[in-house]
Amino acid sequence: MSPAACAFQGNDDELVRHLLGRPPRLPYVVATRCPAGTPQVLRADPVFWEDGRWKPFPTVYWLVCPRLKKSVARLEQEGGSRMFTQRLHDEPGFREAYLAGQRELIAWRLGEARRLAGDQLPADAERVLAEANIAGSRDLLGVKCLHAHLAHALAGGRNPIGEAVRDRIGPCRADPPCVAPQEGGNRA
């Protein structure tokens, strides 16, 4: 990507700090980027080491694109979470597709957690990773945080809620850029 393709010219770590409004708590990779090259979705490990033990982190995908975050927040304010909860209860095909995607996510999280923690993965951490959906809820059919569902779908996960959110709010655009140079820090 040419330097002109992204309005922000600092490194990803600086930009992610800016997009989160704080330093990242956990290591991450940029899972997807906006059309202008700005990090759009971050993926974190499903476990982290703290206070002498492995702790669970079920919300592995984080939407950081300012434009998409704002659009999703509007959808949530308009009752989007309730609407998708209702669809899960009313539409068997939608529900089964969603649950299949959550099972795939759970299997990936558990495999990755076991790879990272080995035999030191506590049973309670494993239980959280086995029971929580992408937004961290142990009620798989309880929809909260549409940002997490969209992030999961954008990163390639099977998530019909995230796909429907994307369809409702539309795609991210390259122009104007999500983050202007003065917002993101140093210019190259």
Q: How many residues does the chain have?
A: 188
Enumerate helices (H) and strands (E) in the chain, giving the number of each: 8, 5
Strand ranges (E), 95-162: none
Q: How far is the CA of 119 from the CAs of 17, 27, 53, 92, 151, in angstroms?
A: 33, 21, 12, 38, 30
**Which tens digit of pLDDT belongs to each residue from 70-87?**
999 999 999 999 999 999
**pLDDT 10s digits, 142-185:** 899 999 999 999 999 999 999 999 999 998 877 766 765 544 43
160-169 vs 80-90: helix crossing angle, rounded to 10: 130
Instruction: Please indicate, yes or no, whether the overall pTM of this predicted structure exceeds 0.75.
Output: yes
Give phi and psi for 62, each to the nearest 5.
Answer: -125, 125
The token pair at 88 is 């899960």
Residue pair 141/151 in contact by the 8 Å Cβ criterion: no
Domain tally, the chain: 1
- Cβ burial, residue 53 (10 Å; 0-12/13-18/19+): middle
CB 149 within 8 A of CB 98: no
Range of 141's domain?
A: 3-184
Neighbours of 74 (CB within 10 A): 12
- The pLDDT value given to residue 184: 44
